[in-house]
Homo-oligomer: A and B are copies of this chain.
Amino acid sequence: MNKWYEKAGPQADVVCSTRVRLARNLQAYPFPSKASQKEKEELEAKIKDALLSGNSVLSREFSFLPLESLTREAAISLAERRLVSPEFLSQEKGRGILLSEDESVSIMINEEDHLRLQVLMEGLSLKEAAEKADRVETVLSETLPFAYDQEFGYLTECPTNLGTGMRASVMLHLPALTENGGMARISANLSKLGLTLRGTYGEGTQVQGNLYQLSNQITLGLSEDEAVENLYAISNQLIGEERKLRERFGESIQLQDKVCRAAGVLKSAQLLSAGEFMQLISLVRFGLSTGILKGLSWEEVNSLTVAVQPATLMARQGKAMEQEERDRSRAQLVRQACGALKEE
């Protein structure tokens, strides 16, 4: 069964993925930062049970991974695949994750909140992801008494999540808008619209390979549907701008040269860092979308982008590797995957 990140969805030329996450907490328990070890273990058992018990309609789709059972590489690979937040890994005790078979649904237990349920889907799939998140949340709510306030909505550790507890985001590939120097202006405008543009791996992270996370800021005083609608409309606007600019830039021999060289390097390098890969694959994505290149599908690009991340690479090889060994292993994987890539 293909994982969500091995697929390509709607608007795959610009939108790599969609994410919807819900923050929930159980009544009668302190937030994880204040809970005792015993309380956290109780919480973990209750949440696990709510999904995996025989009564749950979802019981066969999910499995439970206690963080402490994982190797360091396997754990970090979860963050690289966006299944958990990087912070979730930093303090592993009493933390676990419920994961659906295609890895499109993951539930972090005892992260900042008791539950962080997230749905990840390929391409621009906001409505589908929100619906899926709600379906899973409904199943959980049948047995778990979520902390809810008439005025503040779902109660969360951080006040910025109060209300719907929902954060929706789309991962946008915006090489042309970036090249055009327009991202600062766009980011400022988006803030005014209640949206925020972040780095590739979320808050406080750098933009890698022109991949930006666009997400809703406001969770209070706005319904889930309204937030999703808003994000969807603005995503489509950015997609339109990006495509128009790509068409223009695609005519430039200088950019064609950069794109073809990027493909040439991916097909031939013997050592390749993750950072350089992200820069080069960004050019290749641009080349595929403008018809400069062919021979690689969006599915292949998406799969490869996940597979070459450092910990995922090591987890796949089943061993820890020093940087040079990783760069070598990554280069080999990339050469194989990009063999069919060529000029249109």
Tell me the complex Cα distance, A268–B265, Å.
9
| Docked complex: A256-288 residues within 8 A CB-CB of B | 256-257, 260-261, 263-265, 267-271
List residues of chain B with CB within 8 A of the CB of A257: 269-271, 331
Q: Does A70 contact B (CB under 8 A)?
A: no
Interface size class on chain A is: 10 to 19
- Residue contact A261 to B256, C-beta cutoff 8 Å: no
Main DSSP-derived SS at the A contact region: helix
- Residue contact B254 to A261, C-beta cutoff 8 Å: no
Q: Does A324 contact B (CB under 8 A)?
A: yes
Q: Does A253 contact B (CB under 8 A)?
A: yes
List residues of chain B with CB within 8 A of the CB of A264: 261, 264-265, 267-269
List residues of chain B with CB within 8 A of the CB of A261: 264-265, 268-270
In the complex formed, the residue of B with least CB distance to A325 is: B253
Q: Does A132 contact B (CB under 8 A)?
A: no
- Residue contact B265 to A253, C-beta cutoff 8 Å: no
Q: Does A46 contact B (CB under 8 A)?
A: no
Tell me the complex Cα distance, A256–B327, Å.
13
Tell me the complex Cα distance, A257–B335, Å.
12
Say how far A254's CB is from chain B's closest CB, in angstroms. Answer: 7
Q: Does A127 contact B (CB under 8 A)?
A: no
Q: CB within 8 A of A260: which of B253, B254, B269, B324?
A: B269
Say how far A170's CB is from chain B's closest CB, in angstroms. Answer: 32
Tell me the complex Cα distance, A260–B256, Å.
21
List residues of chain B with CB within 8 A of the CB of A294: none
Q: Does A328 contact B (CB under 8 A)?
A: yes
Tell me the complex Cα distance, A331–B331, Å.
25
Tell me the complex Cα distance, A292–B175, Å.
34
List residues of chain B with CB within 8 A of the CB of A260: 268-270
Tell me the complex Cα distance, A261–B269, Å.
5
Say how far A252's CB is from chain B's closest CB, in angstroms. Answer: 10
In the complex formed, the residue of B with least CB distance to A262 is: B268
| Docked complex: A293-341 residues within 8 A CB-CB of B | 324, 328, 331
List residues of chain B with CB within 8 A of the CB of A254: 271
List residues of chain B with CB within 8 A of the CB of A256: 270
| Docked complex: A133-148 residues within 8 A CB-CB of B | none
Q: CB within 8 A of A270: which of B253, B268, B271, B324?
A: B253
Shortest 3 CB-CB distances between A and B: which pairs?
A264-B268, A264-B264, A257-B270
The contact sample of 8 A-B pairs, CB cut-off 8 A, is A254-B271, A257-B270, A260-B269, A261-B269, A261-B270, A263-B268, A264-B264, A265-B265
Given contacts A256-B270, A257-B271, 19 further A-B contacts (CB under 8 A): A253-B271, A253-B324, A253-B328, A257-B269, A257-B270, A257-B331, A260-B268, A260-B269, A260-B270, A261-B264, A261-B265, A261-B269, A261-B270, A263-B268, A264-B264, A264-B265, A264-B268, A264-B269, A265-B265
